[in-house]
Amino acid sequence: MVPLKDDNPVRITPYITYGLIAVNVACFLIEASLGSDRLDLFLHQWALVPSELSASFAIEPSALSLNEWQTLISSQFLHGGILHLGGNMLYLWIFGNNLEEQMGRLRYLSFYLLCGALAALTQWFFAPLSAIPSLGASGAIAGVMGAYIFRFPKINILTLIPLGILFFPVRIPAIFYLGIWFLQQALYGLLSLGAPMNIGMENGGIAYWAHAGGFVFGALLGPLFGLFRGVTSRPQDGM
């Protein structure tokens, strides 16, 4: 299923959402300009490497480098390919603007980055010895989606459904579209626990636990960041 848009217009210009998309695209262009060897070094420096984060706990506090902890933020702006980037930015474009309007720009930005960091830590928890860099905006965007489903559950999402070689547009309430998406991530995450290596971290796989963790943290943290602020003044939310 491919989401195209939501029936949930905003009254503001979502500068933070646009800015996040621009920064993600700019970072990807930097990645694309590097050769394979330089790109590998770049990703090990700026993406989250779970094994290196685990090793940082053994360092004396006085000698502790903040580099690995900084990657909880920097890794959110890196992507493994054009499809990875495009898919994430599509979801951010559709769901982010409504949360930015609801929360306010600074709250929304703080919420987004915090969800991304907590999502990365969730993935690290389930694969603490992985040496594969973990990167992408998926965890932060999952947090946006987790908040969205509770704030706008009845809003319809225009979605392309594949049937064979054809795609048909249908409108699906957010509670079903995002609910099914979360259940998929949680199920795949549970299945990965039986694998020798977490499939969400190895061989270019998908970080399912980061997705599920980001979604849950987004749902939990949303009210603290003004998710339901002025709820009675929003007649278009279907509630």
Return the pLDDT at 68. Answer: 79
3-class secondary structure, 3:
strand
Alpha-carbon distance values, 237 to 20, 60, 95, 102, 149 (Å): 24, 51, 13, 11, 11
pLDDT tens for the chain, 239 residues: list them: 889 999 999 999 999 999 999 999 999 999 999 988 899 889 888 999 888 888 887 765 544 556 778 999 999 999 989 999 999 999 999 999 999 999 999 999 999 999 999 999 998 998 888 888 889 999 999 999 999 999 999 999 999 998 888 889 999 999 999 998 888 887 876 766 654 443 344 444 578 888 989 999 999 999 999 999 876 444 344 43
Q: How much is the pTM?
A: 0.88
Homologous superfamily in CATH for domain 2-231: Rhomboid-like (1.20.1540.10)
Alpha helices, H only, the chain: 15-32, 36-46, 50-56, 67-74, 82-103, 105-126, 138-151, 174-192, 208-221
Instruction: Specify whether the CB–CB gap between 95 and 111 falls below 8 A.
Output: no
Characterize the bridge pairing of strands 2-6 and 166-173.
Answer: unpaired
CA distance 14 to 29: 23
Q: How far is it, in rounded angstroms, from Cα 236 to Cα 11? A: 11
Token pair 């706008």 is found at: 152
Nearest Cα residue to 23 out of 73, 68, 67: 73
The ranges assigned to domains in the chain are: 2-231
In angstroms, rounded to a whole number, what is the distance separating the alpha carbons of residues 214 and 207? Answer: 11
Check residue 230 and give its pLDDT: 75
Other CB atoms within 10 Å distance of the CB of residue 173: 16
